[in-house]
Chains A and B, each alone.
Chain A
Amino acid sequence: MPFSLLKYGLRKDYPFEEDADIPSAHKLRDSYDVVIIGGGGHGVATAYYLAKYHGITNVAILEKGYLGGGNTARNTAVIRSNYLTPEGVRFYGASVELFQGLSNEFDFNIMYSRRGQLTLAHTESAVSAFRQRAEINTHYGGKSALIGPDEIRKLVPCLNMNPAHMPVLAGLWHIDGATARHDAVAWGFAKGATQRGVELHQLTEVTGVDVENGKVTGVQTNRGKVRCGCVVQAVAGHSALMAEKAGFRLPITVYPLQAMVTQPVKPFIDPLVSSPALHCYVQQTGRGEIVLGSGSDPYPLYNTRSTLPLKESLLSNAVALFPFMSQLRMLRQWAGITDITSDYSPIMGLSPVQGYYLDAGWGTWGFKSTPICGKTMAELVAGGGTVPDLIKPFSLERFERFAQINEMGATAASH
């Protein structure tokens, strides 16, 4: 038993006040230097890095529900950096690196688990696409390789190599692929941020944005008006709606994304396995549950209902890949609403409103970027709007210049 647990058992009054990870509600003041809209992973991470690296602590995070209760709570926690573009690989690679140190940085275990991710190719064209991703990844220092059926069998002996008339030809083996306890990531960031003086206001919904002469001056909330020097918008599925409140439009379409989980069983599979062709990915959590995910629902919708057709298709594909999983029992099915851009890359940086910074378009893949987003968004705020190099390519105006960062092929059912 680790030493750190002894103190809990030996202390009678545990937990003390100071053991609280998240402080209780504050009074909402009428002015802050920085307002962050959205208390998801991205919002709290931004606050954390603002406080930690830039000494900016007069910050309020405004969250309409509860901490990390949006997509941060709903996501399937795939962490990887095997993207398709140099910009993407660099950016997500930096995130993976940050992730690895978070538990110790927070003094809070986020249960980062490096399992490796295996993406399956069932057609020659997928093999070429994966070859490209392996090459790009390696070129920029990542750890990915195109592997053949024999190696795949060794990594995942229980995989059916000929599912649904689509033989597994090769796999993209991404050694850095990982997962973590998703809630804990938001809590860890919140803990670190609030300890440094940032205020987290849950049940506080931003209902309007005040803009004067093209510059943001404050926000309106269900708890009153708040003035501020600048705003960071990090509201994921609600990005387009929020931007509208600030007076501009975002090239974002919203689709529901569903996921599901089974009852826990003893560990039998280590890597994260995904098959884009079968729209299916699978991983076993630390609790022993199998988490299953798929592609987005086929039509735009602001709704988080679950559907039977998706469950049927996802599970029949999962069974094609892992026939024995037919014996598992389903526990829960849920959905989130995701903000998808046309190039499957995020929108980060400046907006048409001065002092109003964007962190949006995270679609089905933004959990893995939580730390690096927070870090770069904090730099952006602290630098008074000087855009850090790492996120320059993801600017909103790239759509005007048709300089999209195409990650479509690397996103799909792998997230």
Chain B
Amino acid sequence: MSKQRQGLLITGDAPVQFTFEGQRFSGLPGDTLASALLANGQWLQSRSFKYHRPRGPLSLSGQDANTLVQLGPEPNVLADRTPLSEGLSASGQNYVGSLAKDGDSRLGFFGRFMPVGFYYRAFYKPRGIWDRWEKVIRKKAGLGVLDTQREAGYHDKQYLFCDIAVVGAGPAGLAAALRAADAGASVLLIEQDPYIGGSLAWHRYDVQGGAAAAMLADLRRVEAHPRIRTLTDATCNAWFADHYLPVIQGTRLYKVRAKQTVLASGALEQHVVFHNNDLPGIVLCSAAERMLALYGITPGNKALVLAGNDQSCRSALTLADAGVQVSAVVDMRASPDDPALLQALSERAIRYIPGHTVYSARGSGSQGRISQAEIRPITAPGEVGNTAETIDCDLLCMSSGYMPAWQLPCQAGAKLSYQDEVAGFRLSGQAAGVHLAGSVNNIFTAEAVVKDGERAAAAALAALGYDVDVPESVSCALRPNYDWPMFAHPKGKEFVDFDEDLQLRDIVNATRMGYRDIQLVKRFSTVGMGPSQGRHSALPTARLVAKATGRTISETGVTTARPPFAPEKVAHNAGRVLHPYRQTPMHHRHLEAGAHMVPVGDWQRPAYYGQPDQARHCIESEAMHVRNAVGLIDVGTLGKIELRGPDAAELLNRLYTASFDNMEIGSTRYAIMTNEHGVVIDDGVACRLGETHFYITATTSGVTRVYRAMTQWNAQWRLDVDILNVTGAFAAVNLAGPLSHKVLAAAGTDVDISAAGFPYLAYREGQVAGISARLMRVGFVGELGYEIHVPARYGEALWDALIKAGRAFGIKPFGVDTQRLLRLEKGHLIVGQDTDGMSHPGELNLNWAVDRKKPFFVGQRSVAIMKREQTQRHLVAFELPAGSETPAEGLLVLEGAEVSGKITSCAYSPTLDKVIGLAWASSAHKKPGSQIVIKSAGGEPLTATVVKLPFYDKALSRQEIQA
């Protein structure tokens, strides 16, 4: 390179070495991968999706799919958004062989045999053949390759808050930010490019040049403004309800909560549709301007400009002033709007050819770069005459106009309507608090854009309660859109959608095949479904479909703009992938004791103490120990809810099936909760602490739902009661076994724990080992036992004290799997395991827990009806003799050839020396003594006997202190 490149973004002159397609290149600090490649004359950067055509940058601003490359393990990376770094190594993607010699490029020749939607019309005859074709086609689809061994590395998230978020730091956004911040509002200014100023930084707004720079100098005041925080290189990727904005910068996702949003997100320059309009070297005018101003790259030696507006004519001036030879400006219009342009062009000896278009282009050389353009006169919309002229060129800059960046506004509820006078779409009707400014609002002259920014900011300020005048809406007479920039060619390849390789006739043919709605056109042809999501195809498609179906362009519309605006990494949304789990205060004690921990709801709990390969042995010996001596289990994961207030009992009356009115203070009651369908959804133990004070447990995984149901219902009922979920505030253990009262006594308590002083199902408060505790005499595992709840911070101390006191009695901890076995022996069911989403109290033998005299509880009507109806099924207890196999939970219960139920719980009971279980079966078999047939794992029938519960301690004596 003879001359050092000078560009706004070029920050140094020390060469940066990198490789592309295995070839070594050198760029400059501040380059993107794409700009560095262009500086090296490497225009060919990708292969197209379907026909594998050579492609180079189109927008050079991350708005098209032509620069998607594979960056190490990462597929589909936009080269024009990737900062160059020393040693960077990238390659093209989606080719066979190499980017330059893609074996699949011959697919283009077969294009005529692959009409739009061709895959719906072939590959399935004869039946079965599709299975084979599918594999071939799947391999051809997809762009880059994902390395399944690599992760994206560290990504995180941060919340930000502001009064007004301004999206886009072009003239409109800068003016809006200043207006808002000067008035006292806090402003977050979000810009996807690495610099502020937007088009002011590279576009020529006047014939002389220089106006933009002067204007930008004024607006730069944002940089030092104390109330403006500017994020550059940051993309606001969506507008979510209530101004919740995801902004991606580097590896961080900012989650922005704004009170108002100003969308100054600009407009997307549009291409012209002609034969071979996708060759490398054919770019949008703005891309050529960016190359010059941002990166100091001379985009070509011999340029041609295909103009649809004055903007593109001014680009020609810029190119010429930068030393590019501009052969001609081919203007689709009859004349420029600003007559001064003709003078300026002729001063630079640039031919001006009005009323013409480029009709086709030819590429040559190893990169397939444009070398010639054929121009023809336009005779009618979309039609050309026969006189052709061929012009040599290595750069073609085109602009047919602009499409407002409609994505965020539409997510905020705006609608697009097409206006024939300006040949473009206009946005309106966005949600309250969202203000459009600048070219997204169809305002194009620099002065008007600034005014519009200030107007939008004033509107936002007014909505925030600032005392400001909101100016009238700004008008702009400029008409930058050419209304029919599409020219069909007998050979096709006039691309409407570059991402998906869709040509003009593909869109028209989709409508002719019956897919007339714009949404159907999209779905059938895949137009707009590629990585750039229709940025350049939406407008031409709307025009083509409208014409083909005889509707207006407004009626036709464009397809919904879904978030995200720009492709974003999964890693940005996933963040640090934190999956916290909850642990009880005794967690470390369990680990020290060798517990096998398992997930239960959000918690980790000991399943048993010992190695997984010894699981059965551990569980059985822990169980025997509880039966014969004493055990201790951490039940701190139980849900715990505190209810206080005059209506506490009434709330429980309405939510649980039991009656709580006459419940004595100092007692407990088993409580089941049903939903409106009468289905049992949770159970727990309610304790009455005082006249207006209850404490109720809920299942570990159900408590969140229970708590939500309580607050939700009470929002309707408005009872005088406070509801508090204190699950995490209390630690809890169950001290169980015939020796448990001795351990409790040894640990020291001021509660009278004599048989008479603390009877079964009573509730007491007092000290245990010096810790204030709530005690319940419950018998879930079927032995004498005390559930002890203490403030969470004393959980470990309580555990230690009981283990220490219990040492003399041989105390051992036991896990949740052991508890499951013990409660099964006792015949207690577990909601969720033994019930399903349809289980009624009656089917579960729980009618005793339903109060029949209460006026109301949720689900009462259903429960009553169910009680009257003959239920089809019943949860039964069954036994198999010792020595028989233990059928696994989930195996089926059969009634002849039909399935009538399943096993919900089953285990070998060491206490009883037989196999016991609970199962759903036809209610015909609910009587003890009848037989049910289980389909064993091997498929053979296994006959089990239905028995009466409980399996263990039918005399109900074990729950008392043993003599």
By a beta-carbon cutoff of 8 Å, the part of chain A in contact with chain B is 1-2, 4-6, 8-9, 14-15, 19-24, 65-67, 69, 73, 86, 101, 103-104, 108-109, 111-114, 122-125, 127-132, 135-136, 139, 157-158, 163-166, 181, 183-184, 187, 202, 262-268, 286-288, 305-308, 311-312, 315-316, 318-320, 322-334, 342-344, 401-404, 406, 408-409
In the bound complex, do residue A131 and residue B888 qualify as a contact, i.e. CB atoms below 8 Å apart? Answer: yes
CA distance A288 to B119 in the complex (A): 15
CA distance A139 to B569 in the complex (A): 44
Any A CB within 8 A of the CB of B143: yes
Q: B residues within 8 A CB of A184?
A: 120
Q: B residues within 8 A CB of A2?
A: 122-123, 125, 133
Any A CB within 8 A of the CB of B389: no
In the bound complex, do residue A139 and residue B570 qualify as a contact, i.e. CB atoms below 8 Å apart? Answer: no
Any A CB within 8 A of the CB of B890: yes
In the bound complex, do residue A267 and residue B138 qualify as a contact, i.e. CB atoms below 8 Å apart? Answer: yes
Q: A residues within 8 A CB of B119?
A: 109, 111
Contacting residue for B832 out of A9, A125, A267, A344, CB 8 A: A125
Q: B residues within 8 A CB of A306?
A: 238, 240, 562-563
Number of B residues with CB within 8 Å of any CB on chain A: 102
In the bound complex, do residue B866 and residue A165 qualify as a contact, i.e. CB atoms below 8 Å apart? Answer: no
Q: A residues within 8 A CB of B142?
A: 264-267, 287-288
CA distance A293 to B244 in the complex (A): 22
- Stretch touching chain A among B184-192, B208-216, B515-523: B515-523
In the bound complex, do residue B890 and residue A128 qualify as a contact, i.e. CB atoms below 8 Å apart? Answer: yes
Task: Give the one of A1, A181, A264, A344 with max B CB within 10 A.
Answer: A264
CA distance A164 to B76 in the complex (A): 28
In the bound complex, do residue A1 and residue B113 qualify as a contact, i.e. CB atoms below 8 Å apart? Answer: yes
Within 8 A of A (CB), among B887-923: 888-892, 898-899, 902, 904
In the bound complex, do residue A402 and residue B869 qualify as a contact, i.e. CB atoms below 8 Å apart? Answer: yes
CA distance A88 to B904 in the complex (A): 20
- Shortest Cβ distance from A163 into B: residue: B579
In the bound complex, do residue B114 and residue A5 qualify as a contact, i.e. CB atoms below 8 Å apart? Answer: yes
What distance in Å separates the Cβ of A410 from its nearest Cβ neighbour in chain B? 10
CA distance A75 to B514 in the complex (A): 22
Within 8 A of A (CB), among B123-141: 123-127, 130-131, 133-134, 137-139, 141
Q: B residues within 8 A CB of A264?
A: 76, 141-143
Contacting residue for B516 out of A24, A122, A307, A402, CB 8 A: A24
What distance in Å separates the Cβ of A235 from its nearest Cβ neighbour in chain B? 18
Given contacts A109-B120, A135-B891, whether A402 and B125 have CB atoms under 8 Å apart is no
CA distance A311 to B575 in the complex (A): 11
Main secondary structure of the interface of A (DSSP, over half): mixed
In the bound complex, do residue A288 and residue B143 qualify as a contact, i.e. CB atoms below 8 Å apart? Answer: yes
Given contacts A14-B115, A136-B892, A342-B677, whether A263 and B143 have CB atoms under 8 Å apart is yes
Please give 19 more A-B residue pairs, beta carbons under 8 A apart, in addition to A15-B513, A312-B574, A327-B152.
A5-B113, A8-B118, A20-B513, A24-B516, A67-B520, A103-B124, A111-B119, A164-B579, A268-B148, A287-B141, A288-B141, A311-B573, A315-B570, A316-B573, A323-B577, A329-B531, A331-B531, A344-B837, A409-B836
- Stretch touching chain A among B274-282, B292-300, B596-604, B800-808: B596-604
In the bound complex, do residue B121 and residue A165 qualify as a contact, i.e. CB atoms below 8 Å apart? Answer: no
Within 8 A of A (CB), among B867-903: 869, 872, 888-892, 898-899, 902
Q: B residues within 8 A CB of A165?
A: 579, 581, 599, 604
Of the A-B pairs whose beta carbons lie under 8 Å apart in the complex, a sample of 20, sorted by A's number, is A1-B113, A5-B114, A8-B112, A14-B115, A21-B515, A22-B516, A69-B520, A108-B121, A109-B123, A124-B817, A131-B888, A132-B892, A135-B891, A164-B579, A166-B579, A266-B75, A286-B137, A324-B146, A326-B151, A329-B569
Q: B residues within 8 A CB of A319?
A: 570-571, 574, 577
CA distance A15 to B152 in the complex (A): 46
Given contacts A111-B119, A332-B562, whether A312 and B575 have CB atoms under 8 Å apart is yes
Q: A residues within 8 A CB of B899?
A: 86, 136, 139
Contacting residue for B836 out of A158, A263, A308, A408, CB 8 A: A408
Any A CB within 8 A of the CB of B865: yes
Q: B residues within 8 A CB of A123?
A: 598-600
- Shortest Cβ distance from B112 into A: residue: A9
In the bound complex, do residue A108 and residue B146 qualify as a contact, i.e. CB atoms below 8 Å apart? Answer: no
In the bound complex, do residue A128 and residue B888 qualify as a contact, i.e. CB atoms below 8 Å apart? Answer: yes
In the bound complex, do residue B514 and residue A20 qualify as a contact, i.e. CB atoms below 8 Å apart? Answer: yes
Task: Give the one of B155, B570, B891 with max A CB within 10 A.
Answer: B570
Task: Give the one of B119, B143, B509, B573 with max A CB within 10 A.
Answer: B573
Q: A residues within 8 A CB of B121?
A: 4-5, 8, 108-109
In the bound complex, do residue A408 and residue B122 qualify as a contact, i.e. CB atoms below 8 Å apart? Answer: no
CA distance A89 to B240 in the complex (A): 39
Any A CB within 8 A of the CB of B567: yes
Q: A residues within 8 A CB of B836?
A: 406, 408-409
Any A CB within 8 A of the CB of B547: no
Task: Give the one of A113, A136, A328 with max B CB within 10 A.
Answer: A328
Given contacts A122-B599, A403-B872, A408-B837, whether A103 and B573 have CB atoms under 8 Å apart is no
Q: A residues within 8 A CB of B246?
A: 308
Given contacts A8-B118, A406-B838, whether A328 and B570 have CB atoms under 8 Å apart is yes
CA distance A307 to B238 in the complex (A): 10
Contacting residue for A22 out of B127, B515, B574, B575, CB 8 A: B515
- Shortest Cβ distance from A132 into B: residue: B890
What distance in Å separates the Cβ of A354 from its nearest Cβ neighbour in chain B? 26
Q: B residues within 8 A CB of A344?
A: 837
In the bound complex, do residue B110 and residue A108 qualify as a contact, i.e. CB atoms below 8 Å apart? Answer: no
In the bound complex, do residue A316 and residue B889 qualify as a contact, i.e. CB atoms below 8 Å apart? Answer: no
In the bound complex, do residue A15 and residue B935 qualify as a contact, i.e. CB atoms below 8 Å apart? Answer: no
What distance in Å separates the Cβ of A4 from its nearest Cβ neighbour in chain B? 4
Q: A residues within 8 A CB of B569?
A: 326-330
CA distance A184 to B524 in the complex (A): 8
Chain B 257-288, CB-CB to A under 8 Å as 1, else 0, gives 00000000000000000000000000000000
- Shortest Cβ distance from A165 into B: residue: B581
Chain B 481-524, CB-CB to A under 8 Å as 1, else 0, gives 00000000000000000000000000001001111110110011
Any A CB within 8 A of the CB of B338: no
Closest 9 CB pairs of A and B: A288-B142, A22-B514, A131-B890, A164-B579, A326-B152, A9-B113, A128-B889, A66-B517, A408-B837
What distance in Å separates the Cβ of A129 from its nearest Cβ neighbour in chain B? 6
Given contacts A22-B514, A312-B575, A333-B562, whether A265 and B75 have CB atoms under 8 Å apart is yes
Any A CB within 8 A of the CB of B445: no
- Shortest Cβ distance from A251 into B: residue: B677
In the bound complex, do residue A343 and residue B568 qualify as a contact, i.e. CB atoms below 8 Å apart? Answer: no
In the bound complex, do residue A328 and residue B581 qualify as a contact, i.e. CB atoms below 8 Å apart? Answer: no
Q: A residues within 8 A CB of B515?
A: 21-22
Contacting residue for A109 out of B130, B151, B519, B677, CB 8 A: B130
CA distance A264 to B146 in the complex (A): 10
- Shortest Cβ distance from A278 into B: residue: B579
Given contacts A265-B146, A332-B562, whether A316 and B575 have CB atoms under 8 Å apart is yes
What distance in Å separates the Cβ of A384 from its nearest Cβ neighbour in chain B? 29
In the bound complex, do residue B865 and residue A402 qualify as a contact, i.e. CB atoms below 8 Å apart? Answer: yes
Q: B residues within 8 A CB of A320?
A: 577, 579
Q: B residues within 8 A CB of A408?
A: 836-837
Q: A residues within 8 A CB of B520?
A: 22, 66-67, 69
Q: A residues within 8 A CB of B115?
A: 8-9, 14-15
In the bound complex, do residue B837 and residue A409 qualify as a contact, i.e. CB atoms below 8 Å apart? Answer: yes
CA distance A288 to B574 in the complex (A): 21
Any A CB within 8 A of the CB of B478: no
- Shortest Cβ distance from B74 into A: residue: A327
CA distance A114 to B432 in the complex (A): 47
Given contacts A286-B141, A324-B150, whether A402 and B677 have CB atoms under 8 Å apart is yes
- Shortest Cβ distance from A304 into B: residue: B560
CA distance A158 to B150 in the complex (A): 11
What distance in Å separates the Cβ of B100 from its nearest Cβ neighbour in chain A? 20
Q: A residues within 8 A CB of B862?
A: 402
What distance in Å separates the Cβ of B135 from its nearest Cβ neighbour in chain A? 9
CA distance A311 to B244 in the complex (A): 13
